[in-house]
Amino acid sequence: MSKRVVNFNAGPAALPLQALERAQREFLDFEGTGMSIMEHSHRGKDYERVHNEAIALLRELLQVPDDYQVLLMQGGATAQFAFIPLNLLPPQKSADFILTGVWARKAFAEAQIVGKARIAANVEGEGGRCTRVPTQAELQLDPEAAYLHFCSNNTIMGTQFHAFPEPPTSVPLFCDMSSDILWRPIDVSKFGLIYAGAQKNIGPSGVTLVIAKKSLIASGREDIPKIFRFKEHAKENSLLNTAPTFAIYMMRNVLAVVKEQGGLAAMEKRNLEKARLVYELIDGEPGFFRSGVEKASRSVMNPVFRLPSEELDKKMVAEAAAAGFVGIKGHKLVGGIRISQYNATTAEQVAQFCEWARGFAKRNG
């Protein structure tokens, strides 16, 4: 096998090597069936077994309560920006949104098309930049809101909620967890709905996870096309139409690895160690590496920083790639450097990068 690089891409992102190797072994002949899983009917028993195993693993790893539905959908989190208000924003109510960056604002904008939406908090600065998440005290909440929506991790700005917002008692909490789901254990019962594009911690792009209270799904509107109704997807076990079968197969492989490696408690320990390594790098060279994110809001998944000049940013990206560390260029909206270190990235790989980065700083500082 050719040498594999250390992949810090923000998404699609690194996948566990064990999950990829399993797919490689089974690619041409899945479990003695004489064909690839990609060639199996989504209505057949062989694929159905994989489909149900993926859902069961999600339930087990996240300890999803029995009164919640797990859906495997398509269209990414971006489609859910529309799906959610279409289903769960009644005409007579409005929804509350916490704006912490690009993805939260896009969700807000889609809800405004469908119905009424209001801003409960906004920490966006000049040019939409965000350097922190709001505190609970800053939230201006509507006790009659249909739901309170937030994005738990900001991949672009490098901020993250380490304590989740608390809505009024009667208001369900909805969360876009695309870039940090499965990084640690969470209490699913605190949420009315969780959704996540798979291409960070769950698997490859092409499948989207939705976890929602069954009572919420049942209350969904019926004056929208059938394909957009959560309740129809739930009724058919996420097989209302042809599912992204290979993406779900790969999700199954990834989740099996997470379970084998100790589950979410083990992921949290490993992820905190990776974050410690990167932020020690940043804080240890304050004249060269500058975070710009308030410490209490720093992302475990996506640390970001800048160098003294854009020229040095570009140089670091190029030299890192040559050294085998790819995907560290910051998002085009903010520039700088971004280290996306999802579950599949090991602490050893992050330590190797930090050692290399210290050398880069010494050579260019």
Active centre residues (catalytic): 103, 176, 200
Locate all alpha helices (DSSP H) within the chain, ordered by sequence. 17-26, 45-62, 76-88, 102-114, 214-218, 230-235, 245-260, 263-284, 310-322, 347-364
Q: Is the peptide bond before 12 cis (omega within 30 degrees of 0)?
A: yes
**Quick check: helix, strand or coil at residue 226?**
helix
Judged by phi (left if over 0) then psi (alpha if -120 to 50, else beta), residue 14 lies in beta
Each residue of 17-53: pLDDT tens digit?
Answer: 999 999 999 999 999 999 999 999 999 999 999 999 9
Domains of the chain: residue spans and CATH: 18-260 (3.40.640.10), 264-364 (3.90.1150.10)
Rounded Cα distance between 182 and 164, Å, is 15
Contact in structure between 146 and 93 (CB atoms under 8 Å):
yes
Q: What is the pLDDT of residue 38?
A: 96
**What gap in Å lies between CA 124 and CA 151, rounded to an integer?**
13
Q: Which of 84, 68, 71, 80 is nearest to 147 (CA)?
A: 84
Q: What is the pLDDT along the chain (365 residues), one digit of tens a residue?
A: 568 999 999 999 999 999 999 999 999 999 999 999 999 999 999 999 999 999 999 999 999 999 999 999 999 999 999 999 999 999 999 999 999 999 999 999 999 999 999 999 999 988 788 999 999 999 999 999 999 999 999 999 999 999 999 999 999 999 999 999 999 999 999 999 999 999 999 999 999 999 999 999 999 999 999 999 999 999 999 999 999 999 999 999 999 999 999 999 999 999 999 999 999 999 999 999 999 999 999 999 999 999 999 999 999 999 999 999 999 999 999 999 999 999 999 999 999 999 999 999 999 98
Specify the residue for token string 């994989």.
50
